[in-house]
Structure 1
Amino acid sequence: MPKVVFITGGSSGIGKAIGEFLLTKECIVYGTSRHPENYSSTTKFPLVALDVTKPETITEAFKQVIDKEGKIDVVVNNAGVGITGPIEETPTNEMRKAFDTNFFGPLEVIKAVLPQLRKQKSGHIINVTSIAAYMGLPYRGIYSASKAALEITIEAYRMETLQFGVHMTNIAPGDFATNIAAGRYHAPILEGSPYEKDYGETLKTMNDHVQSGGDPLEMAKAVYKIIQTNKPAVRYREGAFIQRFSIVLKKILPSKTYEKMLMKHYHLDK
């Protein structure tokens, strides 16, 4: 029987790429969007309304799919939001919004679907985190923190749910060519700020990395490979070699050496 796959944030970017690729592998795919009516002609699979910061919409979205298909085999927790800025100058309410979407949102999705997966005694929840979760990146510290929190929480969560036949996995992408830069919150570059020059230059570097990033199809292929395995790993990393290797370097280099390497990369080594 074909797998029923539910993808949050399925209207564009990585989520859309995953959904369209899985369709070619004979999966039944449902995506979600806060405003699915805006994308009805741009996706090849149906979108249901869902906002990960509003639990009632999550419950309703799962109900619609389960009522129609009778099961859910795979959930891809992909919805997320970017945030950049000097931590000192980033409004606290914007930090909370980022955590609501990137951390608490995926946990609400899991909480809503687990009763169905327990009933089935099977299911796989794949959580899209980030290579940024493995390191504190300058001017992207809140984003790194929100994704790191999800990474660690899923490590614990998967041990709690294996007894029910439910698998959880993290997949951490590097930079892929998506529209995340346009949708992320940017703390304003304040004239006269002590961070004005460095933040402005770093923001440009970050945006350039996204624009020149890999093809989201590679993420889609990685997700398909994961859902085909009976014993998925705790985590996977997907992206350019240097981005994946940066995680290895953090493990083996002295912390100050690694810090200097990051600062040089972002032209902060003055």
Structure 2
Amino acid sequence: MSKVVLITGGSSGIGKSIGILLAEKGYTVYGTSRNPDKFKDFTAFKLIALDVRDTATIQKAVTTIIEAEGRLDVLINNAGVGITGPIEETPEEEIHKAFQTNLYGPIAVMKAVLPQMRKQKSGHIVNVTSIAGYMGLPYRGIYSATKGALELVTEAMRMEVKMFGIEIANVAPGDFATNIAAGRYHTPVYENSPYKEVYGTMLKEMDSHVDAGSDPTIMAEAVLKIIQTKKPKIHYKVGAFMQKFSIVLKRALPDKVYEKMLMNHYKL
């Protein structure tokens, strides 16, 4: 029997790449978008409406899949939003939106699928976090906080649901060539800002890193391996060597030494 997969944020980028690969491998894939009507020519896999910030749409999407397929085997919590800016100048509303999309939303989707997985006595959940979630990065502090929090939530929930035959894992990507920069909120570079020069330069560098990022199919292959693993690890990292190695350095180096290394890297 084909396993049924729900991928949040499946219309583009990493989510789309994951969906295409899983569909090719014989999985029954449901991707989601806040506005699937915008993708009328989308044929790679089924695309249904879901906004992770709206619990009613979450429940409706999960119910639709279960009624159609009779089961739900895999959840890939991929939907997310980028946010940059000096924390002092980032609007409170945008901070709340980032947490709603990157943390509260994935929690709500997990809560929606767990009853069915518990009934089946099986299930895999993969939360897409970020290497940025392992460290507080300058001008990306809010993003780092949302993804780091999801890493910890995963650690806790994983222990809570293991007795039901459900496995949860994190996969943290580095920079990948996706459209995340286009959809990201970035605090404007204000003319009278004390951060103007440094933040303005760094914003351009962040966009260039995404444009020069790895092929998202690499992430898709990593996710496929995770859901095919009976007892997956808690944390997976996917990205360039130095991006992954930065996590190792953070564990090994004294805090101030690591901070100095980051500041030198970002020319602060």
TM range, smaller chain? over 0.9
Q: TM-score if structure 2 supplies the norm length? A: 0.99
Rounded Cα–Cα distance in structure 1 between residues aligned with 2:181 and 2:123: 32
- 3-state DSSP class of the match of 2:30? strand
Work out whether 1:248 is the aligned partner of 2:253.
no
Contact 1:158 1:167 in 2 (8 A): yes
Match of 1:205 in 2: 205
Rounded Cα–Cα distance in structure 2 between residues aligned with 1:188 and 1:197: 12
Contact 1:11 1:43 in 2 (8 A): no
Rounded Cα–Cα distance in structure 2 between residues aligned with 1:178 and 1:213: 8
Instruction: List per-residue Cα deviations over 1:83-119 (Å, max 9, x = no partner).
Output: 0000000011110110000000000000111110111
- 3-state DSSP class of the match of 1:136? coil
User: Equivalent residues in 2 for 1:113-192 (5 A)?
Assistant: 113-192=113-192
Structure 2 unmatched ranges of 5 or more: none
Rounded Cα–Cα distance in structure 2 between residues aligned with 1:90 and 1:179: 22
Supply the RMSD in Å over aligned alpha carbons.
Answer: 0.7
How far did residue 43 of structure 1 move? 4.4
How far did residue 211 of structure 1 move? 0.4
- 3-state DSSP class of the match of 1:44? coil
Instruction: List per-residue Cα deviations over 1:207-238 (Å, max 9, x = no partner).
Output: 11100000000000000001111101111000
Match of 1:84 in 2: 84
Instruction: List per-residue Cα deviations over 1:57-94 (Å, max 9, x = no partner).
Output: 00000111111111111000000000000000001111
Rounded Cα–Cα distance in structure 1 between residues aligned with 2:188 and 2:225: 40
How far did residue 258 of structure 1 move? 1.0
Q: Which amino acid aligns with 2:121?
A: K
Work out whether 1:57 is the aligned partner of 2:52.
no
Work out whether 1:234 is the aligned partner of 2:230.
no
Rounded Cα–Cα distance in structure 2 between residues aligned with 1:40 and 1:33: 12
Instruction: List per-residue Cα deviations over 1:164-201 (Å, max 9, x = no partner).
Output: 11111100000000000010101010002100000001
Rounded Cα–Cα distance in structure 1 between residues aligned with 2:209 and 2:225: 26
Rounded Cα–Cα distance in structure 2 between residues aligned with 1:259 and 1:43: 46
Contact 1:2 1:28 in 2 (8 A): yes
Q: TM-score if structure 1 supplies the norm length? A: 0.98
User: Equivalent residues in 2 for 1:29-40 (5 A)?
Assistant: 29-40=29-40
Match of 2:67 in 1: 67
Instruction: List per-residue Cα deviations over 1:34-77 (Å, max 9, x = no partner).
Output: 00011131341111100000000000001111111111110000
Task: Write out the 4+ residue segments of structure 1 that deviate beyond 6 Å after TM superposition.
Answer: none
- 3-state DSSP class of the match of 2:119? helix
- 3-state DSSP class of the match of 1:11? coil
- 3-state DSSP class of the match of 2:188? coil
Match of 1:99 in 2: 99
- 3-state DSSP class of the match of 1:126? strand
Rounded Cα–Cα distance in structure 2 between residues aligned with 1:40 and 1:118: 34
Q: Which amino acid aligns with 1:10?
A: G
Q: Which amino acid aligns with 2:104?
A: F
- 3-state DSSP class of the match of 2:44? coil
- 3-state DSSP class of the match of 2:45? coil
Of 249-258 and 178-187, more deviation after overlay is shown by 249-258
Rounded Cα–Cα distance in structure 2 between residues aligned with 1:4 and 1:168: 16
- 3-state DSSP class of the match of 1:169? strand
Structure 1 unmatched ranges of 5 or more: none
How far did residue 23 of structure 1 move? 1.1
- 3-state DSSP class of the match of 1:48? strand
Match of 1:10 in 2: 10
Rounded Cα–Cα distance in structure 2 between residues aligned with 1:39 and 1:261: 44
How far did residue 254 of structure 1 move? 1.4
- Tell me the percent identity: 64
Contact 1:181 1:210 in 2 (8 A): yes
Match of 1:22 in 2: 22
